[in-house]
Amino acid sequence: MRVTQLFTKTTKDAPADEVAKNAQLLIRAGYIYKEMAGVYAYLPLGKRVLDKIIQIIREEMDSIGGNEISLTALQNSDVWKTSGRWDDEVIDVWFKTKLANGTELGLAPTHEEPLTKLMKNYIHSYKDLPVYPYQFQIKFRNEVRSKSGLMRGREFWMKDLYSFSRSQAEHDAFYDGAVSDAYARVFDRLGLGAITYRTFASGGSFAKFSHEYQTLSPVGEDTIYVHKEKGIAINEEVYTDEVLADLGIAKDELTQEKAVEVGNIFTLGTRFSDPLELNFTDENGDSKPVVMGSYGIGPSRLMGLIAEHFADDKGLVWPDNVAPFTVYLVSIGDVATQADALYDELTSKGIEVLYDDRDERAGAKFADAELLGIPYRVTISERLIADQKFEFTPRKSGQSEVLTGDELLAKLS
């Protein structure tokens, strides 16, 4: 993509009412647009980052047998009344609206009920199980406070996977095995593996614990107790002497940290299959309720967290795997022919390049390169091209090297 074809522009200042650092930077760099508090549009660069995060999660969910679907945001109240969750006291973040004829509708804050109902059409026998539908979908939640930019939206992207199993044992194997392994791979690939902990949290009535995936960050809203050696953590909501004894962990092995919940996995048991009558016939011909689990990840929260976590005083610094482009190609002076040729060559090799082909001062182009946070800046100038050389500058280190064309290609491939 050429910068002259990109409609967004960078700005020096963030909107005065935006207090979250992730949103300030993302707005200034033209990745997102603020519609209102907690509601953001994704612009071309931001859409590319969100899509990369989503694609990593998609690959890992597909690798464990996930079936991607897309459920509706508009919700009929009936199924939620059956489960007892239509009540605003039970789910306190509902957005509700009405059809012209007065029928009440809700905007889905999550999807256990409609999916359980839908699956009644497809699950009849033990032969139909287990199955793992999942989706990427915008959820609507009337959050009281929405001051953390993308990290707490009133509409936000969620990956929600649901498991439908024949027995508790089959559920447990998926929960502790396939899903937990896939989650670890997701956070590794997002560059967050070293600071993301599988965290014991409250489990509801069907399991002692649920597990949250908590990424250490000073801006986190959650407090967790981390066991660095074991690579696990305990949410303060279940941090009791009894739980510590249960897990065989001593208080002095733990450090208290602030963290952001980037995902969670939950044993649902028959919480939804009982009221919605999602049953199957087992090998002996007996009818049994399906055993369920739900597994969330927040792609938009992750985008805000990654933006904020890796940023420096000059702007964004994207990890390679989620960057909107790999290379920011800067042309300085009268070098359009050579810069065009390099752009074509890199692009033809499958390298994603944002080409700053504007008629702008070098200083302005470099400042934008820094704010945008694309991992590698490649500069072509009259002086460099006279020697058949290119300047290569990783965004993270800021240390420039002068390279030949072959050396440059070797670095980038």
Pairing of strands 327-332, 376-381: parallel
Q: Which stretch binds ligand ATP (CB under 6 A): 2-10, 262-270, 278-286, 315-323?
A: 262-270
Q: Does 301 interact with ligand ATP (rule: CB under 6 A)?
A: yes
Cβ proximity to ligand ATP: between 262 and 342 the closer is: 262
Decide: 261 and 79 in contact? Cβ < 8 Å. Answer: no
Backbone angles phi, psi at 368, to 5 degrees: -65, -40
Q: Does 263 interact with ligand ATP (rule: CB under 6 A)?
A: yes
Q: Does 300 interact with ligand ATP (rule: CB under 6 A)?
A: yes
How many residues are given for the chain?
413
Residue nearest to ligand ATP (CB): 298
- Report, in Å, the least distance between residue 86 CB and ligand ATP: 17
CA distance 172 to 291: 10
Choosing from 60, 112, 143, 391, the residue that interacts with ligand ATP (CB under 6 A) is 143
Which alpha helices (DSSP H) does 236-287 contain, by range? 241-247
- Report, in Å, the least distance between residue 307 CB and ligand ATP: 13
- Report, in Å, the least distance between residue 279 CB and ligand ATP: 26
Choosing from 46, 106, 149, 296, the residue that interacts with ligand ATP (CB under 6 A) is 296
Residues in region 151-170 near ligand ATP by CB under 6 A: 152-153, 156, 158
By C-alpha distance, which of 393, 375, 408, 373 is closest to 29?
Answer: 373
CA distance 368 to 26: 12
Backbone angles phi, psi at 377, to 5 degrees: -95, 130
Cβ proximity to ligand ATP: between 88 and 382 the closer is: 88
Decide: 351 and 412 in contact? Cβ < 8 Å. Answer: yes
- Report, in Å, the least distance between residue 389 CB and ligand ATP: 45
CA distance 368 to 354: 12
Q: Does 183 interact with ligand ATP (rule: CB under 6 A)?
A: no
Q: Does 308 interact with ligand ATP (rule: CB under 6 A)?
A: no
Cβ proximity to ligand ATP: between 210 and 326 the closer is: 210
Decide: 413 and 349 in contact? Cβ < 8 Å. Answer: yes
Q: 158 - beta bridge partners?
A: 137
Q: Which stretch binds ligand ATP (CB under 6 A): 11-19, 25-33, 64-72, 255-263?
A: 255-263
Would you tell me how many other CB atoms lie within 10 Å of the CB of residue 285?
Answer: 7
Q: Does 149 interact with ligand ATP (rule: CB under 6 A)?
A: no
Interface positions with ligand ATP (CB under 6 A): 110, 141, 143, 152-153, 156, 158, 261-264, 296-298, 300-301
